Amino acid sequence: ESNPIVDGAPSNNVTGWRDPYISYWPAVDRLLGRSDNSGLYALISGGFRDHPTTFLYKIDPNDLTSWEYISPLIDIQSNSRSGRWTGDVGKNWECVNRMTLRDPDSELEREFFIISAEGTENINSTSTTETGSNSSMVTRTPRYQLWMAGTLSTTNQTTVTFAPLASGLFDHGNLYAANSFRHPVTGKLLAYGWIQEEDLPDEIRAEQGWSGVISLPREVYLQVHSNVNGHLGGRDLSQVPVFEPVGRTDEVDSYSTMGIKVECDVLHSLQSRAASHASIAEWRPRAHDLNNGAGGGYRRDLALNDTAHCILQSSVRYPANSTSARVGFTIIHDAKQMLFTQISYNPLKQTITVDRSNTVRANATEIERTINRRPELA
């Protein structure tokens, strides 16, 4: 009877206007002069034709059909990015979530947004249109899952704007449309994402009878790294936009960023189901390993007892002056070692790669060969 609550976007010059996210927001209350922290606010995702944004509305908590438009929250150029670490912001935003996060030790507080950006140009490795033997593979829609951290400000208590101080990729793979909520018992901020079905062709999705899955829940939090006196690949961390410099004492620095990890109760539940354990307390390459390794490298084999699921945890000590190209793992999927996935880290480029190119059997059908096996790169 009361619909529509809002009869349209605040402008005709928009790329999108959808995905409302509603919450109390004390930080905006303070900016707008409210003292009781009872103001209810909504974000509607979208953008104008020259830049993506999220639109801020004020809601009367006593009349949920009463919405008042305040302003767009952020002014950022379409398809911009702050370097290789952050991801393209795209042309339009979807499923924008907001949260106020505080570090309990330093009491640092920042506003965070989790953003689904579509219409990106600097697309990830799995979306590129490749030539030759890979040209028949299906491709993903070009989009990124991002986060931003920063502060809010107001002009005459009539508009509210957000200034990013740090930003990065929330996920480097096939996760999109993340949504978050505050756990009512633990108080943790949890986010779920949509693992898209775009790596499979329509025929295989129809045959298996399902499409897409929900990700493991991830806990997000404000993470502060204190006593930092080193660099990342010769680069001062203050030059990496994923980190915000937040303090300096005794010649060492502190940086903040968004912390993201699998929710611990879920992780412990998965670990508790492990049927077997294998451990190597410490392993150093022997002459035999070095002599038999290809290209001067070396390997160590570890049987996983025919399980399809494993949690592999490893600590690698890597010499700072090493010129080796990469270190990592090969997960072998068949007895003849013809099908495998490689997960490797390149310390010179600071990149992690999941190489899926050798995961389809030689006698695969024409449809199976169209499965997207392009590498994931972070």
Which stretch of DSSP H or E encloses residue 5? none
Mean predicted confidence (pLDDT) in 276-283? 59
pLDDT digits (tens, 9 = 90+) for 346-376: 877 888 999 999 999 999 999 999 999 999 9
pLDDT tens digits for 93-108?
Answer: 999 999 999 998 888 9
Token pair of 288, please?
């035999």
Q: In this predicted model, what pLDDT tens digit does every residue of 321-340 receive, in sequence order? A: 666 677 888 888 888 889 99
Alpha carbons 336 and 251: distance in angstroms, whole number? 55
pLDDT (mean) for 131-141: 73
Q: Tens of pLDDT along 75-132?
A: 999 999 888 888 899 999 999 999 999 998 888 999 999 999 999 986 655 655 443 4
For position 131, what pLDDT does the model report? 38
Strand-pair category, 175-182 with 189-195: antiparallel
365 Ramachandran zone, left/alpha/beta (phi>0; psi -120 to 50): beta
pLDDT digits (tens, 9 = 90+) for 281-318: 566 665 555 555 555 566 677 776 666 667 777 777 76
The amino acid sitting at 12 is N
Exposure string of 302-328, with b = 16+ CB inside 10 Å and e = fewer, is eeeeeeeeeeeeeeeeeeeeeeeeeee
pLDDT computed for residue 133 by the predictor: 45
Element containing residue 271 per DSSP (H, E): helix 264-272
Cβ partners under 8 Å of residue 233, min gap 6:
347, 348, 349, 350
Predicted confidence at residue 370, as pLDDT, reads 95
- The token pair that represents 349 in the structure block: 């480029």
Better-predicted residue by pLDDT, 50 or 134:
50
Per-residue pLDDT tens over the stretch 157-168: 899 999 999 999
**List of residues 6+ apart from 174 with CB closer than 8 A:** 126, 140, 195, 196, 198, 199
Cα 161 to Cα 172: distance, rounded to the nearest angstrom: 28
Helices (H) and strands (E) in the chain, counts: 4, 18
For 75, phi then psi, to 5°, come to: -120, 105
∠ CA 86-150-158, rounded to 5°: 130
pLDDT of residue 274: 66
Say which residue the tokens 């001062």 belong to: 236
pLDDT digits (tens, 9 = 90+) for 152-199: 999 888 999 999 999 999 999 889 999 999 999 999 999 999 999 999
**Model confidence at 229: pLDDT above 80:** no
Q: Using CA atoms, how far apart are residues 191 and 220, in angstroms rounded to an integer? A: 7
pLDDT band at 47 (very low <50, low <70, confident <90, very high): very high
* β-strand partners of 220: 189, 260
- Per-residue DSSP letters for 43-73? EEEEEETTEEEEEEEEEETTEEEEEEEEEES
Q: Which of 12, 10, 34, 11 is nearest to 24 (CA)?
A: 34
> Which CA distances in Å does 14 have to 51, 58, 93, 228?
9, 20, 11, 43
243-260 pLDDT, tens digit per residue, is: 999 988 777 889 999 999
pLDDT in the model for residue 242:
93
pLDDT at 124: 58
* Res 57 pLDDT > 90: yes
The mean pLDDT of 21-38, rounded to a whole number, is 89
- The pTM assigned to this predicted structure is 0.89
- What does the radius of gyration of the chain's CA atoms come to, in whole angstroms? 24
Contact present, 348 and 331 (Cβ < 8 Å): no
